[in-house]
Amino acid sequence: MTCSDEAVRAVLMDLAQERGRGASFCPSEAARRLGPDWRARMEDVRRVAGLCIAAGELAMTQNGRPVDPATVRGPVRLSLP
């Protein structure tokens, strides 16, 4: 199941603003907010997060280090840049 990019972006940005600067969140938290079948939404969440990162709206880290959303594998965290 897919969600609109606008809906995904809104949830990502809401979570980032709720956490504030210096705090991060897991992309799965955004997927869970989009509906009960959150695993099916993870691909959309990560794709839209990549767009937000490219636009300078979000940052993605793994083990505390910035990573490229196009090549990273495994668990990541998102935050305000």
Q: pLDDT (tens digit, 9 = 90+) per residue, 26-40?
A: 999 999 999 999 999
pLDDT over 70 (residue 70): yes
Q: Is 69 helix (H, G, I), strand (E, B) or coil?
A: coil
Query: Which of 19, 29, 76, 35 lies closest to 53, judged by CA?
Result: 76
What's the mean per-residue pLDDT of the chain?
95
Identify the pLDDT of residue 1. Answer: 56
- CATH number for the domain spanning 22: value is 1.10.10.10
Q: Which domain holds residue 65?
A: 5-79
CA–CA gap between residue 22 and residue 36 (Å, rounded): 28
Domain count for the chain, please give it. Answer: 1
